[in-house]
Structure 1
Amino acid sequence: MGVPRLSLCMITRNEAENIGRCLESVREFVDEIVVVDTGSVDDTTAVAAGYGAKVITTVWQHDFAAARNLSLAHATGDWIFFLDADEELAPESGSALTRLARTGDKEAYFALITNLLPGGAELTAPSIRLFRNREGYRFRGRLHEQVVDSILAHAGQQRIGQAPIRILHHGYDPATFNIQAKIRRNLAILERYPPEERDSFFYYNLGTEYLRLGRWKEALANYREALRLTHPAKIYGPILVKRTINALMALRRFREAVGHLRYYQTLYPDFRDLVFLEALCHLETGRYTEAQECLRRYGVLPPPPIWYPVEKWPEPPETLAARIRPLVRRREGPPLSVCIIGRDEASCIGACIKSVAEIAAEIIFIDTGSTDQTPYLAYQLGAKVHRASWQNNFGTARNLALAAATGEWILVLDADEVLQEASRNALPELLKAADRDAYLLPIRTFLDRRLSLLNCYLKGSCRLFRNRNYRYQDAVDETILPAVEAAGGTVGCAPITVDHLHFLRPEKEIARRRAWKIAAIREHLTSAPAEQCCALGRESFYARDFTAATQYLGEAYQTLAKSAPPDIFALYALALINTGNYAQAIAVLTEGVAIHPDYTDLLYLLAVACFQRGDLGTAEQLFRRCLALGDAPWEKYLVTPGAGSYRVLLSLGPLYARTGRTKEAIATLLEAARHPAAFEPAVESLTILREELGVPPDQFLSEKGLCNTRSLSAVAQTLARTGQFAESLYYLLLASKESEKEPPPGDFAPLLQAMETLRTAFWHHFRLVGNQEGCSGG
């Protein structure tokens, strides 16, 4: 009896760019190559023939099994090994393939297929690729055809072995393969299936095609039908479960995904990828303790058996665990209920809930009439969701949340607010040692998408209190403090910062919310015209409608006079400054400073107004008083961060330059640059003074220890805005080179922003010059 022979069987169509790599990987280990080509119009068949292949051409019948079986019919070897043209035999697997073809005692063998995915991820799954050449062993299925069922039927499971053979699949690389064309082809095949052939494997394949298209809902619907029809012992059962979880996670249905994962972990206890997926779900919802525990379980489980699809994750579990470790916070001390109200909050509710999930015993969300996915998202992120009709009354909605809370303490948030990471760590410690019944917290409201400390306000608000049946008062600008004080409760201040990210919302959402707020103001404050003007003035100011803000706030100021809330002095004066009415602003601020001498912001705005009027001497004196006073107390006033520190230095620098005191200007701006919030603006001002620096800006920055990607990008932006395009490009290139020296993960935002500024400024200049030339030539 001769040495057993091995036939490689393939089916192809327009694979000229790939088939050479495939055949080269396996040619010295096989005795025969059989290629069934289903209609190539490129050089596929010529390349195959060059490797000595037996090429059979046939008409494509939209049936992969039929084409596979045609290749088997022409194979003469004792064993069949099959590959696709976008695959290759791993270099270390050739000897194992030869050995099994010569001495193997099974009817068939599983190989491991490693799918190389975008982003460096890998998914490795078993597939029968080597089997004896018997007439009864034939493929079934028009798409993602399988030979395993026929082998099981003829030989039984005990006659199938595992082979140390690995195959690399390149077909998921969008840079090389037309993925969309393959998906369209596969969907066309699936559509041809008659109803009686639409079994569990059909729905699994259909779900997978929709998953690849990003049509998550359709993928999930088909996966659910496949799960209903599939016995867990099926060879594709584990990968079906994984892809169902992938669809659920893509739809942000994390609570549902975790429920599925915990159930299937009981069916597949040695399938540790399910434990890792659960860790990812917890990470996405901000439950870091649970994520850490899953990663611990994942780490102690042994590698899974060969029949499970194993994933190489883009971020290794060890790296992920190290990243999570600082975020873990044990839930010690009194339980905390987080109460949130909202309507149509899909764009922000996730960040809000995630910021507190690690420390909250429960999260209560009162939905006041959403028409988007807000309640569903809040539920999937772990919140207890209650629905209520909107009554143009914020206090009523808040009280519904408080009534549902069961924790010893309550933290109140809006849906577009997040608890800072440092505050998340500090809050449990505060509650364990709390000696007050309620706390004012600093709420930091950013006024645009840049989230800059130079464009935000800080204001104290009572958001943290014991759960003692305190209830909110007022429909607009609702407050809990009177209830706390009426009950004899004590109130303290705590540096637990909440960031209000209202202006990260889409513009249409911002406009809708403003309309809701204004409707509530007009309905509930009609009998208090001065308060209504204050509220409408604030809304107009934050909408940057300074003309309307001046009107409303002016009316409130005239009515309330010295009893006006402190922030009305600041906002009214700032609206006047923005409309160029410096004299009136100075009058309002002078009165405000007399009433509230520790309110630094009023002093700072007074200095700005004097500067704008050209009274530089008075402005300088006022700025110096701001530095001596320091920032105003946030628990008492609406505060602009830096009004008593770095913001003043940024103002004094240009003032000194304007009065010819260049050395003082440079020294002051360098001092400002030491403050992280003022770094870029200080560098920009120094760039404007570049002729006075004595050396080029990059050399100056290097001498002062300030040369980095951020500072060079700021120089490039400033030069672009002033029309110095060649110089701007030079500093942009320097910034790019500097970024290569800085340790990862680098912050490329300043560099990208500088590039965009240069592009925009140059394009604006080009259009302006073009228009001028067009006019002169007309």
Structure 2
Amino acid sequence: MKKATISLCMIVKDEEANLPKCLESIKDWVDEIIIVDTGSQDRTREIAKEYGALVLEEPWRDDFSLARNAGLERARGEWILFLDADEEVLHENLSCLAYLAHTDMDGFFLHILNFDDQGNCIKQPSLRLFRNHPRHRFKGAIHEQIIDSILEQNPQAKFGVLDIKIKHFGYQGKMVAQKEKTKRNLAILKAEYERGPKTGFLLFNLATEYLRSGEFPQALRYFNEAERLTSPALSFAPLLGKKKIQTLMLLNQYQEALETIDRYLKLYPDYTDLVFLKATLFYSLGRFTEALELYRACLALGEAPYQYVSEKGVGTFKAEVGVREALALLERERLCHHLLPGISLCMIVRDEERNLARCLDSAAQVVDEIVVVDTGSEDRTREIAQSYGAQVYTFPWMNDFALARNFALRLARYEWILVLDADETLRTEEHKRLRQLIATAGELQGFYLKVVNYFGWGDPEDFVVDAICRLFRNKPEFNFSGTLHEEISQSIISYSGPSSLAPVEIHIDHWGYLKRAGLQKKSYRNTALLTSWLNFQPGDGYARYALGVELFQQSDFRGALEEFYKAFTALKGSGILADLYFKMAVCCLELKEFQQGLKIVRQGQEAFPDFTSLWYLEGMLEFHLGNWPGARQAWEKALQMGDPPWYRYTFPYGIGSFRTAAALAEGLEKMGWLEEAEELLEAFLKKRQGLSTLLLPFCRLLVQRYDTVSCLFRLYSLSLPSCFRESLLLAEVFYRLDRPDLGQIFLQKAKEFLEQSPLKSLFLKLAGLQLGLAGQCCIQGLKSGGFSPALKTVWDKISALLEGVAQGEMFNIGIQ
């Protein structure tokens, strides 16, 4: 029986991990293997040769077609099959390759199954098998295609489909590698765009890469351009429509997304993915009846025909899940029509297994129900929530926090709603007061609660206070707004007036800022989201402010200040103007633009005369300008004012007391007035205020003024230390002041306190400090004494131990 010959052609670079699996899956079905290597530094070429491949070494020229065509030039088979190294041919139906010897087709589409880390599978037809002809060559620097050259050679060329499946696992894991790949693809596509011509397919690919990189306004721009140049008959046109719709949804342009879905459904009525997208959008918007009808329509259609790029399950099991969830939500809505007296706790969560139990432990006894909306957890979050009796619902994440919050509100059955995040807790001693509050609320529609944001490593006084509306009546007209940093107070005020909200000193402790590594990742994510949004809505003053805050937290003070200036005009009269003045002045301080900072501070003082933080900053700016009398006057004014009203301003705790005292004492010290500085700090230490802030400047004064015995006497006269934490603080302070003799005394005190109350976490803190001190000695030795293999070995071991201690519990105790 005659058999057609097949040449497998591939391009590779550093694929030693993937290549064997790929070649094993197809080696028995092809007649030759041609590998074009574009610069591997690993064993890729050796592995290819082990499989009998002809290996061609080609320099990488930022052009995939050039590399592909180099392989075609050497191919001798009657048919060409091309694969990538991160693909695997599934063995089922490979016997249909025998059909090639008897067909008049010019090429065949095969089924590509793209799997991601969540187990989703996108089915995609791809022309991977075609006749070997000297004029059949790939086109396009990236996302290269062969079909155009085949049609140029033979406009009547015929194409079929073979039921051969290729599993693509390149989208799994390696997030950093994926980002680098997207960055590379964008660079190649931009260069091709500049060279021209600008085809619909090129613009579609450019838009797709912008979508992958999170630059949604840019993606939408190029999808729109591609749409104008693309005939609906072209094979990629349905996918162009689907991706444009997804982009509109990510930009929160829901009405336009619905209109675009309807337009594309007229062109491709059997494209199940479009119906599923529409169902998902209605589901997210709380239109559950329409969502139910559409999920059922997906089941009636079944999986999309082979010619479409389609997500597996949209016509079967995923649609079935949609039907079940929509029915459950409709029943829930029916129950919510008649509200019950009490409180619904509403939360949105994702991968919060480490925090959620602590949050629910703090709140479960004071609320009447728990509604948890999960936006895609892959850990035990859902199970933990259900163990507390929570009603758990699924929400497809669409880069819109307000939409997710409002989804949760629709499902609340009680007259009052309390909103918490998983990294927050209530104080159980305030439960009774919270219940009394709603019982006596009268005409009030909601309350600003006192949110305490902890920043210090174990320091109970290192926090920033914020007033946020988290407790409010359950009314359909009250809704969150804001894609990021969402809030509900403006919605309540617009319906009921500013007097409908009142501050109440019930605390929400927020612990999320203690995890610094996660914070940085979250901040960069927020920056990307806000930048993308502002490309689309440059006049959004609140988004400008929010972007400035993210840059501020990243210590990009120049970038932050620029965004704050842009936001200033738009935010005049808003509730965040005081914080804007404060952060702008801090930026000027960090950038050493002291005169401009003073100008901003004084404008802010006129508008907000009770905002202590501005007088503190005035002192800092005056001091850096060398105006000591002006600095002292401003700081003394801040101390006289005390902390500002928590319900009006966001501020670090102690700005009107120990924090300003520390700044004033430093000024006094530099002016040579050591005794006055010591007396100032002593007054706050007697009240046990701001220990982690004040002990360093206080002890620095002591070692300048007294001998060792007198230093100890001064501390003991203040009853310091009285506990393990204070002992550890003093030990770290004196080591930082290069007084190891005093440091050792307080380390011994810490051990004595620990023996009285042994706790694993305290042992870890003590061990961490001692290891850290030993590590500092190693570093100093390596710097001053030159390289020593023995010292380097000790330092490496200490570093490993420190990492282990840090994983057990944070040991840095927060000296500032």
TM-score class, shorter-chain normalisation, is 0.5 to 0.7
Partner residue, 2:608 = 596
Contact persistence 1:650–1:672 (CA under 8 A): no
Partner residue, 1:705 = 719
Partner residue, 2:752 = 737
Structure 2 counterpart of 1:659, which letter? Answer: M
User: Match of 1:620, SS?
Assistant: helix
Matched, 1:625 2:637: yes
Query: How far apart are residue 479 of structure 1 and its match?
Result: 2.5
Partner residue, 2:482 = 474
Unaligned runs of 5+ in 2: 1-339, 790-816
Query: How far apart are residue 769 of structure 1 and its match?
Result: 1.9
Partner residue, 1:687 = 699
Structure 2 counterpart of 1:692, which letter? Answer: R
Partner residue, 2:776 = 761
Change (3 A) 1:722 1:449: closer
Superposition pairs for residues 711-730 of structure 1, below 5 Å?
Answer: 711-730=726-745
Query: How far apart are residue 419 of structure 1 and its match?
Result: 1.7
Query: How far apart are residue 445 of structure 1 and its match?
Result: 1.9
Return the alpha-carbon distance in structure 1 between the equivalents of residues 768 and 685 of structure 2: 19
Return the alpha-carbon distance in structure 2 between the equivalents of residues 484 and 471 of structure 1: 8
Partner residue, 2:556 = 545
Partner residue, 2:654 = 642
Matched, 1:495 2:505: yes
Contact persistence 1:459–1:638 (CA under 8 A): yes
Query: How far apart are residue 367 of structure 1 and its match?
Result: 1.3
Partner residue, 1:572 = 584
Return the alpha-carbon distance in structure 2 between the equivalents of residues 517 and 379 of structure 1: 33
Contact persistence 2:375–2:396 (CA under 8 A): yes
User: Match of 1:398, SS?
Assistant: helix
Query: How far apart are residue 699 of structure 1 and its match?
Result: 2.0
Return the alpha-carbon distance in structure 2 between the equivalents of residues 545 and 674 of structure 1: 38
Partner residue, 2:344 = 337
Change (3 A) 1:585 1:741: same
Query: How far apart are residue 606 of structure 1 and its match?
Result: 1.6
Return the alpha-carbon distance in structure 2 between the equivalents of residues 448 and 678 of structure 1: 12
Query: How far apart are residue 621 of structure 1 and its match?
Result: 0.6
Structure 2 counterpart of 1:666, which letter? Answer: E
User: Match of 1:688, SS?
Assistant: helix
Superposition pairs for residues 204-353 of structure 1, below 5 Å?
Answer: 334-353=341-360
Contact persistence 2:455–2:514 (CA under 8 A): no
User: Match of 1:497, SS?
Assistant: strand
Structure 2 counterpart of 1:766, which letter? Answer: G
Residue number among 431, 435, 443 corresponding to 1:428 in the alignment: 435
Matched, 1:419 2:431: no
Return the alpha-carbon distance in structure 2 between the equivalents of residues 546 and 734 of structure 1: 42
Deviates more, 1:642-651 or 1:480-489: 480-489
User: Match of 1:479, SS?
Assistant: coil
Contact persistence 2:345–2:367 (CA under 8 A): yes
Change (3 A) 1:544 1:355: farther
Structure 2 counterpart of 1:703, which letter? Answer: S
Contact persistence 1:447–1:542 (CA under 8 A): no
After superposition, give the CA deviation of every residue in 1:618-638 in whole Å (9 maximum; x if it has no partner): 111111111221211121111
Structure 1 counterpart of 2:503, which letter? Answer: C
Query: How far apart are residue 493 of structure 1 and its match?
Result: 0.9
Query: How far apart are residue 666 of structure 1 and its match?
Result: 1.4
After superposition, give the CA deviation of every residue in 1:394-430 in whole Å (9 maximum; x if it has no partner): 2111111111111221111122222234434532232
Return the alpha-carbon distance in structure 1 between the equivalents of residues 501 and 681 of structure 2: 40
Query: How far apart are residue 507 of structure 1 and its match?
Result: 2.1
Return the alpha-carbon distance in structure 1 between the equivalents of residues 521 and 653 of structure 2: 26
Unaligned runs of 5+ in 1: 1-332
Query: How far apart are residue 656 of structure 1 and its match?
Result: 2.1
Change (3 A) 1:526 1:346: farther
User: Match of 1:464, SS?
Assistant: strand
Residue number among 624, 649, 653 corresponding to 2:665 in the alignment: 653
User: Match of 2:420, SS?
Assistant: strand
Partner residue, 1:605 = 617
Partner residue, 1:696 = 710
Contact persistence 1:347–1:505 (CA under 8 A): no
Contact persistence 1:518–1:536 (CA under 8 A): no
Superposition pairs for residues 181-220 of structure 1, below 5 Å?
Answer: none
After superposition, give the CA deviation of every residue in 1:564-586 in whole Å (9 maximum; x if it has no partner): 72111111222232333333322
Query: How far apart are residue 374 of structure 1 and its match?
Result: 2.4
Query: How far apart are residue 364 of structure 1 and its match?
Result: 0.9
Contact persistence 1:725–1:762 (CA under 8 A): no
Return the alpha-carbon distance in structure 2 between the equivalents of residues 493 and 630 of structure 1: 19
Partner residue, 1:405 = 412
Return the alpha-carbon distance in structure 2 between the equivalents of residues 517 and 386 of structure 1: 28
Superposition pairs for residues 350-361 of structure 1, below 5 Å?
Answer: 350-361=357-368
Change (3 A) 1:516 1:550: closer
Change (3 A) 1:423 1:387: same
Contact persistence 2:527–2:551 (CA under 8 A): no
Residue number among 523, 526, 532 corresponding to 2:537 in the alignment: 526
Structure 1 counterpart of 2:406, which letter? Answer: N
User: Match of 1:696, SS?
Assistant: helix
Contact persistence 2:549–2:560 (CA under 8 A): yes
User: Match of 2:509, SS?
Assistant: strand
Change (3 A) 1:349 1:599: same
Change (3 A) 1:438 1:631: same
Matched, 1:383 2:390: yes
Partner residue, 2:521 = 511
Structure 2 counterpart of 1:417, which letter? Answer: E
Change (3 A) 1:606 1:562: farther
Return the alpha-carbon distance in structure 1 between the equivalents of residues 555 and 459 of structure 2: 17
Contact persistence 1:739–1:746 (CA under 8 A): no
Structure 1 counterpart of 2:480, which letter? Answer: Y
User: Match of 2:651, SS?
Assistant: coil
Contact persistence 2:400–2:483 (CA under 8 A): yes
Query: How far apart are residue 380 of structure 1 and its match?
Result: 2.8
Matched, 1:664 2:676: yes
After superposition, give the CA deviation of every residue in 1:250-307 in whole Å (9 maximum; x if it has no partner): xxxxxxxxxxxxxxxxxxxxxxxxxxxxxxxxxxxxxxxxxxxxxxxxxxxxxxxxxx
User: Match of 2:373, SS?
Assistant: strand
Contact persistence 1:338–1:364 (CA under 8 A): yes
Residue number among 459, 484, 487 corresponding to 2:492 in the alignment: 484
**Alignment TM-score, normalising by the size of structure 2:** 0.50
Query: How far apart are residue 527 of structure 1 and its match?
Result: 4.5
Partner residue, 2:445 = 437
Structure 2 counterpart of 1:494, which letter? Answer: V
Return the alpha-carbon distance in structure 2 between the equivalents of residues 429 and 746 of structure 1: 37
User: Match of 2:712, SS?
Assistant: helix
Partner residue, 1:365 = 372
User: Match of 1:346, SS?
Assistant: coil
Deviates more, 1:668-677 or 1:558-567: 558-567
Count of aligned residue pairs for this structure pair: 441
Change (3 A) 1:684 1:740: farther
Change (3 A) 1:337 1:561: closer
Q: Provide the aligned C-alpha RMSD in A.
A: 3.1
**Alignment TM-score, normalising by the size of structure 1:** 0.52
Return the alpha-carbon distance in structure 1 between the equivalents of residues 358 and 432 of structure 2: 17
Return the alpha-carbon distance in structure 1 between the equivalents of residues 611 and 465 of structure 2: 13
Return the alpha-carbon distance in structure 1 between the equivalents of residues 769 and 713 of structure 2: 19
Partner residue, 1:274 = none
Contact persistence 1:341–1:368 (CA under 8 A): yes
User: Match of 2:487, SS?
Assistant: coil
